[in-house]
Structure 1
Amino acid sequence: MSAFHQLGAGLGLRGEHYAQALACSGQGLWFEVHPENYMVGGPRLAWLERIAERHPLSLHGVSLSLAADAAPDEANLQRLRVLVERVQPLLISEHLAWSSWRGQYHPDLLPFPRSHAALARITENIQRTQEALGRRIAIENPSHYVRLEGHDWGEIEFLTELALRTGCGLLLDVNNVHVSAHNLGFDAMRYLDLFPAAAILEIHLAGHSHDEGGQLLIDSHDAPVAEPVWALYEHLIQRIGPIPTLIERDDHLPAFDVLQAERHRAQAILNLAQVTP
């Protein structure tokens, strides 16, 4: 069995939990980081290398801006390649969004109309990225808060076509599906049933919050995974089988043991899928 196929449930790694992450073990355990935090060297990179000696790693980027009306920044790609070669991650992923404009980086992952022109541009940007890294990447489905006009493609069809044209994989974020379904009024379970299983390389689970008015769900990654998201995840795994699954937590970090408990819950669902005929 390949190293990739031994991946089970993993955790997003934060500096506060470095010592516990280094010392812990568990069936299928792996860790994911944002590469932007490690591409400049220093103590962070040193401890990431120590983690990589003991655990499989995944790099989940937030800055390539693949949906921008421009090619990815070459210097940024080269820094990412150096990190990839240094820590040898089993997975590399990015978002279906844009976050930079004319050299200025924004702190948000911004939406775009899924037009024919956008499909061609993002296809080229993914191909450039994969060629620069010498690796296949996975693209994550976005979370949505308002309806945009100008779509030529449905989201699942758009992601499927990207995978067909570029050979990339897909990262299915179940919390994003739940948040978007609530905000835009579509059926989250049907979305998961239509999502192309063969292209999925990774799954994300995370918590969310409400806006001040209580109307919108926000993909905030600052709370435990909600029960409706767990239900969607179980349904998905029953349909497609076990896929490497990450517990994401970026804010209001609890104790490491609390995150481990969520990881164990996801691992149990993956294990059940392995033995269910």
Structure 2
Amino acid sequence: MTLPARSGLGFKSEHFAPIQEDRPDLGFFEVHAENYMGDGGQPHRQLAALRRDYALSLHGVGLSIGGPGRLDPDHLARLRRLVDRYRPDSFSEHLAWSSHGGEYLNDLLPLPYTPETLDIVCDHLDELQAAIGQRVLLENPSTYILFEQSTLSETDFLAEVVRRTGCGLLLDVNNVFVSATNHRSDARAYLDAFPLQAVGEIHLGGHATEDLPSGPLLIDDHGRAVADPVWTLYAETIARTGPLPTLIEWDNDVPEFPVLLAEAAQADRILRDAASAPARTGEARIARAC
């Protein structure tokens, strides 16, 4: 199963009525898996109705893929029930950790890129993919610090994870821009090194900016429209890969539904332009990950 190479939106319950009334022309909806781990109620009634009309992506936020120790078996079992119930077209998680010693933190925390971390992440992805019976897409993080003990670049780390586990990647273009700005590095050089052939979905979201004496600090807050330089990076990426499923993430200070539709329409215009443009000389289009 794969998502259509169209724009999609993160589903918010307050938008259920206009979605049902208007049946907007969208490629898919995405939800956070952990919000649907109960057995019933309004969340499941709404999601079941959406699933009848649209492709569905489940986005995990609580597995702590980079954390030490085994993955939580109860969490894995609940995920499997959710996957069996809705048969999503995509399942994704984060290259991050969020729990330790039974304590769960409301954040996605960064990792040092070392052989030891690589072993942990690969073991956890193998366990997750076996548990849910589906290929997983792993998302690149937004970061605010770098670890001195890192011996691999983030892109080399992700490429090796793909090679060892067979997983795919979720490329968050806003995260690329946020991290590159924060670390005073080159976002385009990062994308040049990124294993684009493994990308099965793209995320676009907004970020906040704080001005520090050392320069701007960007915060990946999913609370505003996609910034112009992120749209530019996205268009450049899609020109290289060809059309890919693209999610507009807006999780905080959520606007009225037409605002989200306008963001999705902008992504669709870029996707259509890429589909109609001839491949650049000497640079073949990258096939979509299966």
Same fold (TM over 0.5): yes
Q: Is the 8 A contact 2:142 2:220 kept in 1?
A: yes
How many pairs are equivalent?
275
Deviation per CA, 1:98-130, whole angstroms, max 9, x where unpaired? 001111110000111111011011100000000
Counterparts of 1:199-210 in structure 2, within 5 Å, are: 199-210=198-209
For structure 1, the 5+ residue unaligned runs are none
How far did 1:159 drift? 0.3
CA distance in 1 between partners of 2:163 and 2:100 (Å): 27
TM-score (norm 2): 0.92
Match of 2:192 in 1: 193
Match of 1:220 in 2: 221
Q: Is the 8 A contact 2:5 2:243 kept in 1?
A: no
For structure 2, the 5+ residue unaligned runs are 279-290
Deviation per CA, 1:225-262, whole angstroms, max 9, x where unpaired? 00000000000001111110000000111110010001
- Please tell me the residue identity of whatever aligns with 1:265: Q
- Please tell me the residue identity of whatever aligns with 2:257: F
How far did 1:26 drift? 4.8
CA RMSD, 1 decimal: 1.4
Q: Is the 8 A contact 2:3 2:56 kept in 1?
A: no
CA distance in 2 between partners of 1:175 and 1:129 (Å): 26
TM-score (norm 1): 0.96
- Please tell me the residue identity of whatever aligns with 1:136: R
Q: Is the 8 A contact 1:93 1:137 kept in 2?
A: yes
CA distance in 2 between partners of 1:50 and 1:60 (Å): 18
How far did 1:147 drift? 2.1
Match of 2:117 in 1: 118
How far did 1:18 drift? 1.4
Q: Is the 8 A contact 1:7 1:30 kept in 2?
A: no
Q: Is the 8 A contact 2:3 2:28 kept in 1?
A: no
CA distance in 1 between partners of 2:161 and 2:18 (Å): 38
Match of 2:282 in 1: none
Match of 1:21 in 2: 19
Counterparts of 1:191-270 in structure 2, within 5 Å, are: 191-211=190-210, 213=212, 215-270=216-271
Matched, 1:89 2:119: no
Deviates more, 1:73-82 or 1:5-14: 5-14
Q: Is the 8 A contact 2:60 2:92 kept in 1?
A: yes
Counterparts of 1:103-182 in structure 2, within 5 Å, are: 103-182=102-181
